[in-house]
Amino acid sequence: MHVTAPEPIEFSVGVEGMTCASCVNRVERFLRKADGVSSASVNLATERATVLVDPTVAGRAEVEAAIVAAGYDVRPERATDSMALTLDDADPDADLRAQEMRELGLKALVSVVVALAIMALMLWPDILGMPMVELNWLLFIPATFVQFWAGGVFLRAALRQARHRTVSMDTLVAMGTMAAWGYSTAVTLAPALVTDAGIEPVTYFDSSTMIIGLILAGRWLEARAKARASGAVAALVGLSARTARVVSDGTEVDVPVEEVRPGDLVRVRPGEKVPVDGVVVSGSSSLDESMLTGEPVPVLREPGDEVIGATVNGEGTLVMRTTHVGRDAVLGQIVRMVREAQASKAPVQRLADRVTEWFVPLVIVLAAVTFAAWWAVGPEPALTNALVSAVSVLIIACPCAMGLATPTAIMVGSGRAAESGLLFRGGAALEAAGRVDTVVFDKTGTLTAGRPSVAAVRVAPGFGEADLLTLAASAERGSEHPLGAAVVAEAERRGLTLGTPEGFAATGGRGVRAEVGGRRVLVGSRAFLAEAGISADVSAVGASSERPLTEVLVAVDSTFAGALEMADEVKPTAAAAVRELRERGLEVHLLSGDSQAAATAVATEIGIDHVQAEAQPADKTAYVSALRRQGRSVAMVGDGINDAPALAAADVGIAIGTGTDVALEASEVTLVGGDPRLVGAAIRASRGTLRVIRQNLGWAFGYNVVLIPVAMGLLYPVLGLRLDPILAAAAMAFSSVSVVLNSLRLRRLPVAPDSPEP
């Protein structure tokens, strides 16, 4: 008996104690070594690890054990059985983050105040009229309090990592501040150690406390900025309605939206938000779907039409039957996709990951070399100068900025894109879209409205128009293709009674076959009928070969029965979408399973020069693959089942959100609305985000390349320039905050259609 292996499961775990990119690398290494874990990605900005595990080998307990083994703590998860969409879906760690921010703020404030008081007393010791030896005892008490209370976060983390034979940014801070505090304490307790050597008993309590205060202040500012970075997801969650008006047994009751269940009838009055996903049962109204799709024009919804939760009803009253609620609804899925994208890594992050593997150990070595060099050949007092320079090297180094450079930009960029109806599956998709130089569009449902209609019915001798349409529509009842839906809609409009198709089979992009009332019916393209050995003489049924209309041919019992001529309007924004892409230097192609005449007519109308018609799914895949072999970076845009292989074959698959589930699963980018201008918006969002990532990484690397040598004192022999530890701490804190603030600029990125060039 064949046993199917269980599908891997993916989940995320909050990680406490990470402060820099080296922490991220260590957690990832331990997770990947754990049994049953096939992949692991850790995000410093969200402080969460996303893992893919074999459920027969490992589960959450094994993953958490690997995190602990790496030297870090697991953030407790809030258990809930509710399917309701809440702010926890935007940031499940929001409450804990808020508590940590309050603690950081308090400790930073106390540390800075104490440091300023110590500095004032050291600059003006005459205020108290005490000699320096006695004054040091007075300074020792508050400095020690700050060192072990506020600075305890660094000490505990460094000790924990030492037990696991690793180092991080906390190690550098702990070593630097403890060195300054330890030297000062020794001078305070035993001043003869330095005075006997002719060295003034100067302490550095002000440096140790101020370093702690500035770094904690930097982390507080960083935490605030990261909270703002997740604001887009919180805004999406905030769109959801809080109550719904449920209709039951002729009465209406307002209930919390989380109590609504699939199958419930819900009434939506004019001006109200649609509370859940559903299908209109009665009434008609225009709905504002702009908050999800970016489309400003209201959309008419009538009985049988699907409606999306969080959209806004217009002037009519609707009664709808609930289909999906909470996290299963469209809004819930969008929130999930955005969170997954924000938690993912872009390939560009790999460079920073490789560097930080050895960065912190290198800094410790450089600090040791600095101390030894200054002590050996530096000016007097050599020991003091050696200590100050070594502490500056330890403090100035900042892998924090390298760790935050990419994830913060992805968090903000993907969130900003989601606000305009663009959903990226992850950082890799966000990065790949920025490299695209060729865009290949499907036609039906992508550049055209996707709501074709039957313009004419042409019948062969021996068949009636109603009979032909009835058989064709009955066969198409099982199809998801827009042309099939149009045939069914036309038959229903005429009041024809449709049969039940048996043995239904669809050949993607070509046609369907079924048995209706004992008769074998084929509906599809000329090639589809030819493969079945059926010759279709379209001219004999009076079909117009001059007009660029799509032909749907029908055969009954192996005999050509007639042709349905389909009309499909080009989307009003299609030409603008193509024009923007061409202005950006991209090459645009049209790839369609339709006839050459119909495809060429659409391409001419919207300005596309490269056209491939009558393409089957395999042809579309081959076409995309051929472009890639030419060295092009290809984005494929489609919406149907027949587009799925080509979407998967492209560098970036872009699915129209109104398309089929198969197409959506095969794509890396989803356009929630049907506006083709969103393709240009996706590329614009990607390039804007990548630009910020490169800026962040450039700053993070450049900062260390320039300032570490200064901290070591390499410029001292030439310019007499040294870096005070306090200035080093301020610079280190500023570097991390500046990276996050630069990423936050993406919140103003012009992504929506008609946005100007960024």
Q: What is the identity of the amino acid at 40?
A: A
Tokens read off for 640 = 């149907």
94, 38, 151, 225: which is closest to 736 by C-alpha?
A: 225
Per residue, what are the HEC states of 458-515? EECCCCCHHHHHHHHHHHHCCCCCHHHHHHHHHHHHCCCCCCCCEEEEEECCCEEEEE
Peptide bond before 572: cis, by omega within 30 degrees of 0?
no
* Alpha carbon distance 488, 482 (integer Å): 10
* Alpha carbon distance 614, 598 (integer Å): 10
Q: For residue 190, what are the contacts with CB-CB under 8 A and spacing of at least 6?
A: none
Tokens read off for 443 = 């036609």
Side-chain-side CA neighbours of residue 384 (13 Å):
18
First to last CA, the chain: 59
Burial class (CB in 10 A: 0-12, 13-18, 19+), 333: middle
* Alpha carbon distance 348, 363 (integer Å): 24
Using an 8 Å Cβ cutoff, are 142 and 118 in contact? yes
* Alpha carbon distance 702, 361 (integer Å): 19
Tokens read off for 327 = 């996290």
* Alpha carbon distance 232, 334 (integer Å): 11
439, 334, 294, 405: which is closest to 746 by C-alpha?
A: 405
* Alpha carbon distance 526, 529 (integer Å): 5
Using an 8 Å Cβ cutoff, are 544 and 597 in contact? no
Q: What is the identity of the amino acid at 437?
A: D
Using an 8 Å Cβ cutoff, are 646 and 638 in contact? yes
Cα-to-chain-centroid distance, residue 591: 29
Catalytic residue among 89, 93, 442, 643: 442
Using an 8 Å Cβ cutoff, are 157 and 16 in contact? no
Please give the DSSP secondary-structure letter assigned to residue 752.
S
Tokens read off for 113 = 């105040």
Rounded to 5 degrees, φ, ψ at 561 are: -110, -20
* Alpha carbon distance 106, 127 (integer Å): 28
Using an 8 Å Cβ cutoff, are 483 and 452 in contact? yes
Q: How many CB atoms lie within 10 A of CB 281?
A: 15
Tokens read off for 736 = 């991390």
* Alpha carbon distance 492, 512 (integer Å): 19
Active site residue 442: yes
Tokens read off for 81 = 């059985």
Exposure string for 239-258, b = 16+ CB within 10 A, e = fewer: bbbeebbbbeeeeeeeeebb
DSSP track, 515-528: EETTEEEEEE-HHH
Q: Which residues are catalytic?
A: 442
